[in-house]
Amino acid sequence: MSGSNKLIVLVLGSSRAKYALFEGDKIRKIKSAQINQDFNLNSFLKREDEKIPILCISVHNNQNLPDLKNLYFFDKRFVLEKYGWQGFYEDIGIDRVCNLLGIAPQPPKGGAKNIVILDFGTYTTLTVVSKPPSPLKGELKLIDSFVIPGISFQIREFSKDNNSLPALSEFDFIHYCMNKKYLEIPESTKQSAYSGIVFSIQTFLQGIFEKYQEESSIYITGGWADLAFELASQDSNISKDKDLCFNGGRKFFEEFIKK
């Protein structure tokens, strides 16, 4: 298959890097890594063909990226102005705008008035917009937004300033949740901490659903989307789509760069 229909969508977050290799509109490969002092972007990408373009969605300063061939950048301001989306404050996260672009081609669900995106990444974000008559153009407007510490942040910071507390790990937490240990009585401080994190997610989701579920299409995305979706009350208005940001990046490239 020629490189002309291939695209790498690269997402550089606050603590993790991930990319998706597209062939046409299909994702053929996804890779993720922690961003630390040993992280090397060229080694992480390992392009078999430098002609494959890269669409970068970065929360960092783009000037700090290495010199890569065929590298392009997602421009959130351009998207907001192009489609006439309203009410978005100046420093809203680039990934949140990209998520919306990833949803935009999907058909509306029932008579929902709003779109709600819950992104469970390093930070957990809520983005609520009014749904326009057309998926892309129209009176799409930001009507609610917040950012709170995410699951990874809670795990990492739990014992940071208190040596008497046990250190937590994402691996242990995932294993704890997979075995549904949070349904049992905790047997240690560590297990109590993990159950507390699960409870905070459940309480958070319950509050969001009570406020928005009846009139909204709700999308759960991000690295912790599988867990959040499992803990969510299952309803026809709730969808899980871990690839929203990747698909938004692909759409941006197809619409505004490839042409």
Q: Hey, where are the domains in the chain?
A: 3-73, 76-151+195-248
Residue 212 has pLDDT above 90, yes or no: no
Q: What is the distance between the alpha carbons of residues 200 and 193, in angstroms, rounded to a whole number?
A: 11
| Maximum average pLDDT range among 10-19, 98-107, 135-144, 190-199 | 190-199
> What pLDDT sits at residue 14?
81
Where does the pLDDT of residue 1 fall: very low under 50, low under 70, confident under 90, or very high at 90 and above? Answer: very low
pLDDT band at 110 (very low <50, low <70, confident <90, very high): low
d(CA 89, CA 91) in angstroms, rounded, equals 6
pLDDT of residue 60: 73
Note the pLDDT of residue 237. Answer: 75
Let me know if the fold of 3-73 is the same as that of 76-151+195-248.
yes
- Average pLDDT along the chain: 87
* E strand residue ranges, 40-96: 54-58, 71-73
Least confident window among 11-20, 65-74, 181-190: 65-74
User: Cα separation of 50 and 40, whole Å?
Assistant: 17
Q: Which pLDDT value is given to residue 2?
A: 44
Q: What's the gap between Cα 234 and its chain centre?
A: 20
Question: CATH assignment of 76-151+195-248, given 3.40.50.1820, 3.30.420.40, 3.40.50.720, 3.40.640.10?
Answer: 3.30.420.40
Helix (H) or strand (E) holding 121, with range, is: none
More confident of the two residues 42 and 32: 32
Question: What is residue 250's predicted lDDT score, i.e. its pLDDT?
Answer: 95
- What DSSP line would sit under 184-211, residue for residue? S---SHHHHHHHHHHHHHHHHHHHHHHH
How much is the average pLDDT of 86-92? Answer: 91
pLDDT 10s digits, 148-204: 999 998 998 888 877 888 999 999 999 999 999 999 999 999 999 999 999 999 999
What is the dotted CATH code of the domain comprising 3-73? 3.30.420.40
Q: Which residue has the higher pLDDT, 245 or 139?
A: 245
